[in-house]
Amino acid sequence: SQTIHQWPATLVQPVGSPLSLECTVEGTSNPNLYWYRQAAGRGLQLLFYSVGIGQISSEVPQNLSASRPQDRQFILSSKKLLLSDSGFYLCAWSPGTGTGELFFGEGSRLTVL
């Protein structure tokens, strides 16, 4: 069966420090991969999605970037964190031929101080 893991689960970072959140999927190949940010009262905001290695689409211009160095690995990064980057980040995958059902990771809570 397929599983998705993301880490770390919680992270506290100072303003201006770098960020790396990692997500891996097991049990499937060539998945579509997504990074969302979940904020109270603002729902789920799609940040990045990827349909293949090295292919990244950005939905919202911001201080963050994403990379997909391997088929089942998706990384969310920042060179210098801002206070506004604090939030709950969710990684998700869907089958490459799927029509919309997403499978979510457990999330990473980032606090920028």
> Total residues at the site for other proteins (CB under 8 A)?
25
User: Site mask, other proteins, residues 17-56, x = CB under 8 A?
Assistant: ---------------x---x-x--xxxx-x--x-x---x-
Is residue 106 close enough to count as binding other proteins by CB under 8 A? yes
Is residue 104 close enough to count as binding other proteins by CB under 8 A? yes
* Secondary structure, 3-state, the chain: CCEEEEECCEEEECCCCCEEEEEEEECCCCCEEEEEEEECCCEEEEEEEEEECCEEEECCCCCCEEEEEECCEEEEEECCCCHHHCEEEEEEEECCCCCCCCEECCCEEEEEC
- Binding residues (CB under 8 A) for other proteins: these are 32, 36, 38, 41-44, 46, 49, 51, 55, 57, 90, 94, 96-102, 104-107
